[in-house]
Chains A and B, each alone.
Chain A
């Protein structure tokens, strides 16, 4: 074998080794969680695990029902809020990327995406402290409800803030990648800039935009830190659905965080089972995102 071919082979081997090394931690984490989580789920049964209450130290088994409901409620609310702000922001950043204000906004968004999410939780905690004394009397008068300092709404707001930069950056990238021909076609079809951007070009870039929504949702479903000071956690179901918005709610990542730290085996097991469920949910959303962007 010539020296050139030898170097080529060695280079290829190095690249493969680095790829394996990079993927190894992710694979090990997934394997470890499923190896310990699936038996925990099997011991009580999938339906019971997904709907049951978390175990006390004296119980023999338990589930993640309230936490799963909380995660789904906050993910839906957080995604709705995050998309409502992040999508138009992303359209602006993508469509007006040559303008100075858009460039400055893009810099702020780039910082926000790296911002510690626990600080986002603290910010929402502080904002709720300031806002609730003024908002609650109005809510009580209009709807007969009050929002607690710790609530599903606070948790969803924190998750929305975490999600906004992801949606904005991916949407901006989707719009920026639309070719000049389509850009012109959109504006030739309508003289209304908003319709050209939000209808025609949205349809043109829809798959990439949908992928951005899904990736953002997957990201917030796994977040723990922003929920510590906002959703707080709750081991029980509420009688009224609106209480998932107004009262403290559980979340799967929070449940894992609390139950993994105890000295009780039954709670550690449920933490592993919950992690397996969470990983499956997040992976499913990522697979959907990949499928959406590839079709």
Chain B
């Protein structure tokens, strides 16, 4: 297993957002977490790279293992290199060029030993995100000049440059048009050969298209987990069935 979660509970102030979550995410698969707004999907995702800890008044209990290692014992810098994230809104760093946006994380974490290696990793990341051909002649241009879809692929390249083991994707196509959505979805299917993807979506058809496994969350709990085909064709739980058929 790539990720293993046992009895995970997360509270903000006095409000419990995740309530005893147990989950196992297999390696080299797209694992979709779906559920209605407020079900705790994004919070769960932010536990995997401990991004949750930047929020005040948060309390996390339970166990999460990455490749067998307790993530709460791991060095945070190391964890965030191994578990990268793509967000709902494209968030390249303003005032930086396309190249610098991809290179910055590598520099900060000293992941490239030479300028040549840095350039090579930036190029490879842009190629993997299928953006290289569109930006190869303007790497020094501001990232803000790119279209929304390109910016999201740039952020994906930024994450891929780390060569992570796990890629967290928090509704990465929520603000994209169908063409760009299709590109990102194609990439997910392609990328799972090399890494594990945990995809949060509140759009069941997307989970059906790209995922191998699906977990359905409702009000901070996992209602049902299984292979995507089973969840969408033979859901065991009535809530799951109502969700995938668009009734909740």
Contacts and interface: CB of A to CB of B under 8 A. Distances in A.
B87 A191 contact: no
A237 interface: no
A203 B56 contact: no
Contacts of B79: 191
A187 B95 contact: no
Contacts of A189: 80, 104-105, 108, 158
Q: How large is the interface on A (under 10, 10 to 19, 20 to 34, 35 or more residues)?
A: 20 to 34
Interface string B103-119: 01100110000000000
A187 B108 CA distance: 11
Contacts of B84: 188
A203 B108 CA distance: 13
A184 B91 contact: yes
B97 to A, nearest CB: 11
B91 A185 contact: yes
A206 B95 contact: yes
A84 B176 CA distance: 42
B95 A203 contact: yes
B95 A184 contact: no
A190 B91 contact: no
B94 A182 contact: yes
A204 B80 contact: no
A250 B177 CA distance: 64
Contact of B80 (A99, A181, A190, A206): A190
Given A199-B108, A203-B96, A183 B77 contact: no
Nearest to A186: B93
A184 B93 contact: no
A204 B84 CA distance: 20
B201 interface: no
A36 interface: no
A15 to B, nearest CB: 34
Nearest to A183: B54
Interface string A97-111: 011000000000000
Contacts of B88: 181
B77 A191 contact: yes
B75 A185 contact: no
B76 interface: yes
- The A interface is mostly helix, strand or loop, or mixed, namely helix
A114 interface: no
B51 interface: yes
A195 B108 CA distance: 7
Interface string A170-186: 00000000010111111
Interface residues of B, number: 31
Contacts of B75: 191
Interface in B201-238: none
A190 B93 contact: no
Given A181-B87, A185-B87, A191 B94 contact: no
A181 B91 contact: yes
A100 to B, nearest CB: 11
A185 B54 CA distance: 11
Contacts of B108: 189-190, 192, 195, 199-200
Nearest to B76: A191
A190 B108 CA distance: 7
A188 B81 CA distance: 8
Contacts of B50: 191
A203 B93 contact: yes
Nearest to B50: A191
A95 to B, nearest CB: 9
A219 interface: no
A97 to B, nearest CB: 10
A188 B51 contact: yes
B78 A191 contact: yes
A199 B104 CA distance: 9
A182 B104 CA distance: 14
A183 B78 CA distance: 19
A207 interface: yes
Contacts of A99: 56
A181 B155 CA distance: 12
A27 to B, nearest CB: 35
Contacts of A181: 87-89, 91
A182 B93 contact: yes
Determine which residue in B76, B79, B88, B93 has the highest number of CB atoms from chain A within 10 A of its CB, and name it. Answer: B93
A29 B93 CA distance: 43
A199 B93 CA distance: 11
A187 B51 contact: yes
14 contacts: A179-B91, A183-B54, A184-B91, A185-B92, A187-B54, A188-B85, A189-B108, A191-B75, A191-B80, A191-B81, A192-B108, A200-B108, A203-B93, A203-B96
Of all A-B residue pairs in the complex, the 3 with the closest CB atoms, nearest first, are A191-B76, A191-B77, A181-B91
Given A185-B91, A188-B85, A200-B93, 14 more contacts: A184-B51, A184-B54, A185-B93, A188-B49, A188-B80, A188-B87, A189-B80, A191-B76, A191-B78, A191-B79, A191-B81, A200-B104, A203-B93, A203-B96
